[in-house]
Every structure is written in structure tokens, then in C-alpha cells.
Structure 1
Amino acid sequence: MKKKSIALLGLMMCLVSGCADKKMDECLFPRAEESYVGDVMALSSDDGVYLNYLYETDNNGVGYHPLHQFYTKDFLKFRDNGETLKFAENSELQDLAIGTGSFIKDDSGKYHCFYTGHNDYYDVYGLDKECVMHATSKDNKKYEKNYEEIIHAPNGYSTTDFRDPQVYHTDDGYIMLVGARKEAEQESAIIYYESQDLSNWTFKGDFYTSKELYFMECPDVFKLGEKYYLVFSWNNVVYYRMADSFFGPWEKPEIDTFDGNGFYAAKTCEYKDKRYLIGFLDRKKRENDSLGYTWAGSVLVYELRQLQDGTLGVCMPEQYNGYFDKELKSLSAEDESMDLGKVPETCHLSFELTMQEGGACSLDFSNPDSGEEYKISIDNEKDIISYNAFPNFQPVKLETGEKYQIDVVIEKDIVVVYAGGVKALSNRIYSAVGGDWKLNIQGAEAKNVKIYGK
């Protein structure tokens, strides 16, 4: 969860991208008007997915980050359902600010929200800075808090870094994962609790620990095929681990990330027999491509796939193909440089890429109005996808001589490159809007280069 913000640009930054209406509006990377999307907590059902998230405005007061909600049936249209959980207005209450949690529906039909209660004045009021809290709802619209069910960090664990509960229904009851930090060991930990009724929880111990990262935010476990996967985030990067059972032991894959350092706080949900990884893509203040990313932005959804070796890949959601249903341009791939022109502000660029050893492929952007020139590269020698305005990259290994489907989805200033269902790189590229695009290849072959629109 993000610390309290200081207002910089406020409402001048609204409507940078995404849809901003109360009705079901078409867009791929939504955010509400005059706000930004923080950590996303998905709850799926037979009739759709509810995306609860931390609501950020850049002009926070003493209390901040209420939970708001989007609803979608297909990740193509989203309805803004507004606020579902308020932060406390009394500075002496635990949840003066709200942090990440999870949503679950019990067997009786009641909805439960477990979330982080964060108070920046903990040293004044004698409160733990972060605790796990519980709220319930009959309709999944407005949640009522139960201040008598606060869970504090166990002895030996930090009361400053104790957050992001994730709850699962099991054959024996319920399990809750919580991000924590072991003080004496100076070690990050994901710990777990068990419960029979979602109200009384018993601490069981460490679920997974690591000395590589200071903290592991937004933990989530799921099964895909015969494997179990643990997803968590830190320092603007989403990581994962693999295991043969729910409780591990957890193995770190050679490349343990999905995207670069603009996609964050992702957790998963299953919907219509597919597993989705849902987080947010940061934005940049002052809409300056050369600046680093700032916390909160727009919803970003990946479809997860299990690769032959058991590792995870991310790809463009299949339904995007039907969303972009008009072929606007088809290009010959015989030249090393292909002029794509000024692509529509919402479109899908698609091509088949075959790399030679040490080959490279790049999308180059030049904006005549701003004079800026940047590029996204897929480099088979360095084994990365990279963006060179403010450096952002994702390791990827594309086999020499193998054909990969490359998809690039553009929606205003958001550009997401999906590399063969293996890895992706998402970016805000403000200068790409209205700019001239080129596809350059060296030591590679690009075929069936097409641009699709709405």
C-alpha cells in the first residue's frame, strides 16, 4: 500500500487515459474520472468480475485510499460501481487509510472483505501501524466494518509492515495469507492463518520467506494444471514462485517476473475457465516520458498460460482479438524498416517474429510536435524487451529460429507488447500519441504485419 500523498497536480491530471463513466464503457485499461487505480482485488462470479481497488486522487487528506469497484463481464467493458469501503474519519481508528486485501463470498451468500488498516499516527495513539481488518456485505456494494475482529502482527513480526491479506476457501475451512516481516531475522515473510468461520483466526506460522526482498506485497496462490503458483510484488515488480503443492516448497524460476517496472500489485482470479493476472499500470506525472513511474494508474489485465516447462507466461486476453475487428493496414515485411504511419490511438498491431541469433526488432516512435524519439526493442542477444525513455525492461528468452506471435495493444498513452505468450512489457508513452511509428528489424524476420482497429 502507498503512503500518504501530497497534492501536486490534482485534477489537472484527470482523463489522461481510460474510460471514466458510470455506465458500461468500452476500454481495456480503465480508471475512474479524476482518480487513479491502485492495488486491484478481484472477485469473480459466474456473471462477471468485480475489480475492487485502492482509489488514489493525488490530493489525499489525513485519511486516504477508500476501496472502489469496477465490474466487467469480458474485460472489454467496465462499469464504475463507485465506493465500496470508506476509510475512517477518526484519526484514532486503525483504518485511517486502507490498504490491499481480498474479497470472498461464503457458503451462506455473505460477502467478506479482509483488508489492511493503516494509520500514519500509530506512534501518537499507540496503535500498530498496520493490521488486518474485516468487513462484510449482503450485496457486495457497501461493506460494514467489524472493529472487534482486528488481527495484529504476531510476536516477532513487524507491526509497521503487516498487510495485504488474501483469503481462500478450502475443504477444511479457510486460509489467510498475510505479508509480514520478521524483525530479528531481517527477513520478508508471507505468513498464514486458519479459520472455520472467517471471524476467528489462528496463526499457523511462515508460509514462505525470503531474504532477497525487503517485503513481499499482495501475496496470492493459485493452481494451474498440476502446479501451484505464488505471486507477490515488491518495488514496482511482480514476481512468482512454483511448487507441487499449496504449501510448497517453492521454487524460483530462471525468469521470475512477467513484466517490467510499470506493472504492479497484481493478483489473480479465475473466470470462465481462464486465469487472469490483474494489476495496475503506473502513470507519470506531468506526462513526461523521461520520468520514472508514479504509484497508481490504470487497470491492466493479462491472461496467464502455463508453458511446457511448467513456468508461467502472460499473453494478450483472447477477447481482444474480437474487440479489434477491423483490419486497417497490412504491410510487406521484406524491408528492414517498415513505416507504420500515425497509428490510431486505440489499435492492435500484430505480426509473426522469427529471430536469428543476436537478432533484434524495435518499434520506434517519433513525435513531430514534441521532438521526442523513443523505442521499444526485443533483443535476442541481450534476451530482453526494453523501453529507452526512462529505462524499463523485462527479461525474455526467444528461441532462435522459432516463430513467435507478437501483439502490441495501444490505447491512448498505454502501449503493451506481448511477446509470444511468454513475457510482456507495458509502458506509458505519451509521445506515441499522434507520433510516427516504424517497425525496424535486424537479424530477424517479421511476417503478416497488420494493424487492427475498432
Structure 2
Amino acid sequence: MKNRIFYKAPSGATADIIPFFDKESFHLFYLHDFRDVANHGEGTPWYHLETRNFVDYKALGEALPRGMVNDQDLYVFTGCVIKTDQKYHIFYTGHNPHFRKDGKPEQAVMHAISDDLSNWTKLPEDTFFSPLEGYEPNDWRDPFVFFNEEKKEYWMLLAARKKNGGSVRRGCTALCTSTDLKKWMVAEPLWEPHYHYTHECPDLFKIGKWWYLIYSEFSDKRMTRYRMARNLSGPWYAPKDDQFDGRSYYAAKSASDGGIRALFGWVPTKTNNEDAGSWQWGGNLVAHEIFQRKNGELGERPLKSIKKHLSKKTLYFSDTIDVDATGRCEFKKIDIQLPETYMISLDINMSKYTNRAGVSLRRNHTKDEGYVYIFDASRQRFAFDRFPNSPWHLENFQGVSRHLLVIPRKKYHLDIIVEGDVCVAYVDDNIALSSRMHQNEGQPPALFSIDGKTSFSNIKITTD
């Protein structure tokens, strides 16, 4: 299918999205992974999308071409876009995995300029590498540049690794400074927590009195997280819930139009398009709105334009459906044929002894299998999984969850947006959780409860 809301490159996959707002449009540059070396060659270029509503994406083609096999930027990896009075600038990672065997750094920061966001000129003379002292030579990537009004200079944040310390805890957010965007001086790291291998794709912004540093944890957890501080010198505090979305959402960066701030990440594909497959690098673009909660922490909610688009036609409505499953597990089928793109909205209220409850997607009632978004009172979390899972054999949805205080007799609102095999759920316009479904296409949804009664109300299924 042609993904409209959750954009996917037509040949290959959409990886790290670099967002930039300009002249009433969000410009989304992304790493295009062709996944076809035989026909497309090695390396990743940047491609360019434009949108004003997060529903319609205009594909503008290749923005930054990759280099040749002997060039530093065989892989044009993540970076940023900024605008000065005269020019647009891209700072990006030039990556060449073949250089290490020759004793040359794999990664460097590189620079390109443009007058129109479409035609870019690379400036190889501005390339610079990790300093010889203090930093690993092959981890110097993902530049994020902004103008520091207080210091009256440009700051560049980088995903880097120190040479000393625990071998898997050397990651830091490196800092470089410049007055002309051409020559950069390495300063002390902005953040050096000593507990990640690397924190990729740094992003920084301020709302009110708080600064927010977004990064992606390069580890087996594979999540986008954030820290917050009153000023850029720190200290950087960890909120109680420091993640955006779940482990099937990565490399997210944000941009604002002056009103909303949107977060753009990708939901990975799976090997062989199978539930048991491993999560891959790159997939479909998924955007959330992020906002500041009353306590200063950040939350996620669906973008209004997407909800409006998917609310044009009502396919199903019910005031209330009760599922009484005291001492057992019970599913109630919603007998409806669904299109490829739709939204489910409802309220859920679990009784005192209900263990788990939620919504099942693509539920095959003959085979008794499907996918679930589940409110789990026993583990105090909101999660995605297959249910029932295969006996002994592991379906690979481990860790696709969010911490959530699940309280009996409390009403929670749930929105689920589905397009093709990508699904995204939002609880109380506050947290998001994305995933994929590869089986049972065309099967209807169901409501379920385990070990107690659950009341579902205001159940609505809509589409465009």
C-alpha cells in the first residue's frame, strides 16, 4: 500500500528524519536506505519531503547525494538544517565504514549550503574530525547546530565517545563552538552521564524555563529519551518517565512551527516482514505532537490534523460494551470490515480485580489469535504484544511498552491509529506507543478483559 500518514520510502526504508520548519511547511530530510546494493549501490543519501498537515507528504527527491566508495560521505548520515540571513546550511555525518581498516576515521562532520532548500552545494573544505585527544575517532556524528543567544555563537552538539572510561559507558553529547559556521572549537561535553555506549541524534530546544535534550539510546534498549535542565550548563535531570514512545520507535528529532512541536521518528520494519523477525534499521515515519506538562516534563499526543483527517467518516459507534471476564479471559468481537487506514477511539474502565484489558487488533477468532494494546494492572504498564503468544517460541515484541499507573475504576482514553501494518496508540493524550502487525490482515478488532469486568464506552471507529 502507499503509506500516506506513516510515510515509507517507495524503494527501501525511511530512516533518521531531520526536520526543519520554514515558510509554513515542515521540511523533512531523511536517510534513504535502499536495501538493495545490487541495484542501487552502497550508501545512503538524504531525501526530502515537505508537509503542512502531517497527512500529505510531497516527495522532493534526493537532497544530498552520497559520495563514492572512496569518499568520506559514502553514507550521508544524520545531521541538522539551519538558516542564517543569507543561506540554508546542512551539517551532516560523513560515514565510510571502509576507512577503519586503513587507519582513517570512519566519521566526520560535513557541511553543505543552499539558497532554496532544494539545491545543495557540499563544502568539503569545512569537514572536521574528532580531536585526537580525548575522543574516539570513529564516533563523531549526528551534528545539531543552533545559535546560542547568550554566548553569541553557534553551538554544535554531537554523538561522541570518550577514549577513557567503561568500554560501553563512554558516550557523551559533545560540544563544539563557532562564530562563522566554518571553523569549530571543541569544548567540554554538554552532557557526559557515563551510562550509555553512545547517545545518538541529539536535539535541543527550550519551552518556558526548561531546556530539553533529546537523544536516542544506542543500546539493546533502543529508545528515544530526553533530559531537562534550567540552563545549558546543567545539571540535566532525568524525568520519571524519560522515554518517547517505545523500543519500536527510534532516532526521533523535533521541529516547531511556533505553535506546536512535532517529533519525527521511525518505526522499524522486521526481517522477512514476520512478527518473529528482528527489528531492522529504518522503516516508516511516525510523527507525534510533544508538549510540556504542568510539571515541566514532556508528553506525547496525536497531531490534531491527523485526527481530523481520520474523523471524516464514522464506520462504527457504540455507547457502551461491558466485558465480564471474572476468573477468565473474554473477547468481544466488533464485527466490522475495516479499511487499511482507520482510527479507534474509546474510554476504558477496569474493575477492582481486573488484571488486564484492552483492544485487540486483527483478531482471527477462528484461530484465536491477534494483536493487543493492553492495560496491564499487574505490571503497571501499557504494552503491545500478540495474544496469545506462541508457546515457548518467542514473538519479538518484548519491551514494546510504556510505564503506566493502571488504577481500578479510573477511566482512560485510548486512540489507536492504523495504516497498513503500522499502528500507534495514545493514552489520555499523554503517552504514545507504536508497533507493527504482519499477520491476520483484514481481521476485525475486539475488546477484551482478563480476570475481571471492564467497561468500554464511547467506542468509535472512523476513517478518512
TM-score calculated relative to the size of structure 2? 0.87
Secondary structure at the aligned position of 1:321 is classed as helix
* Cα pair 1:362 1:377 within 8 Å, conserved: yes
Deviations 1:392-446 (Å, cap 9, x if unpaired)?
2222234554433210001111111111122221111122530121011445432
Q: CA separation in 2, counterparts of 1:150 and 1:327? A: 54
Deviates more, 1:122-131 or 1:193-202: 122-131
Q: CA separation in 1, counterparts of 2:350 and 2:417? A: 21
Given the alignment, which residue of 302, 311, 315 partners 2:297?
A: 311
| Aligned-residue offset at 1:333 | 2.3
Secondary structure at the aligned position of 2:321 is classed as coil
Secondary structure at the aligned position of 2:272 is classed as helix
Asked whether 1:220 is paired with 2:203, we answer yes
Secondary structure at the aligned position of 1:151 is classed as coil
Given the alignment, which residue of 34, 38, 41 partners 1:57?
A: 34
Secondary structure at the aligned position of 2:57 is classed as strand
Aligned to 2:403: 395
Q: Which amino acid is the alignment partner of residue 451 of structure 1?
A: I
Q: How does 1:61-140 map to 2 (within 5 A)?
A: 63-89=42-68, 91-108=69-86, 110-140=87-117
| Aligned-residue offset at 1:251 | 0.7
* Cα pair 1:54 1:98 within 8 Å, conserved: yes
Asked whether 1:211 is paired with 2:194, we answer yes
Secondary structure at the aligned position of 1:162 is classed as strand
Q: CA separation in 2, counterparts of 1:106 and 1:145? A: 17
Asked whether 1:422 is paired with 2:419, we answer no
Aligned to 1:183: 163
Q: Which amino acid is the alignment partner of residue 440 of structure 1?
A: F
Q: How does 1:179-258 map to 2 (within 5 A)?
A: 179-186=159-166, 187-234=170-217, 235=219, 236-258=222-244
Q: Which amino acid is the alignment partner of residue 180 of structure 1?
A: A
* Cα pair 2:158 2:174 within 8 Å, conserved: yes
* Cα pair 1:99 1:116 within 8 Å, conserved: yes
For residues 33 and 126 of structure 1, do their structure 2 counterparts lie closer, same or farther at Cα, with a shift above 3 Å needed?
Answer: same
Aligned to 1:453: 463
* Cα pair 1:188 1:209 within 8 Å, conserved: yes
Aligned to 1:169: 147
Q: CA separation in 1, counterparts of 2:430 and 2:357? A: 16
Aligned to 1:279: 265
* Cα pair 1:94 1:127 within 8 Å, conserved: no
Q: CA separation in 2, counterparts of 1:443 and 1:164? A: 49
| Aligned-residue offset at 1:349 | 0.4
Aligned to 1:340: 334
For residues 107 and 380 of structure 1, do their structure 2 counterparts lie closer, same or farther at Cα, with a shift above 3 Å needed?
Answer: farther
| Aligned-residue offset at 1:305 | 1.7
| Aligned-residue offset at 1:131 | 1.0
Aligned to 2:344: 349
Q: Which amino acid is the alignment partner of residue 66 of structure 1?
A: P
TM-score calculated relative to the size of structure 1? 0.89
Secondary structure at the aligned position of 1:320 is classed as helix
Q: Which amino acid is the alignment partner of residue 188 of structure 2?
A: G
| Aligned-residue offset at 1:353 | 2.7
Deviates more, 1:329-338 or 1:302-311: 329-338
Secondary structure at the aligned position of 2:226 is classed as strand
Q: CA separation in 2, counterparts of 1:425 and 1:18? A: 22
For residues 287 and 366 of structure 1, do their structure 2 counterparts lie closer, same or farther at Cα, with a shift above 3 Å needed?
Answer: same
Q: CA separation in 1, counterparts of 2:352 and 2:140? A: 46
Q: Which amino acid is the alignment partner of residue 103 of structure 1?
A: V
Structure 2 gaps of 5+ residues are 324-330, 387-395
Given the alignment, which residue of 310, 316, 320 partners 1:329?
A: 316
Q: CA separation in 2, counterparts of 1:180 and 1:422? A: 31
Give the total of aligned pairs: 429
Deviations 1:230-267 (Å, cap 9, x if unpaired)?
11112331111111123321111122112221110001
* Cα pair 2:205 2:213 within 8 Å, conserved: yes
Q: CA separation in 2, counterparts of 1:307 and 1:403? A: 20
* Cα pair 2:24 2:257 within 8 Å, conserved: no
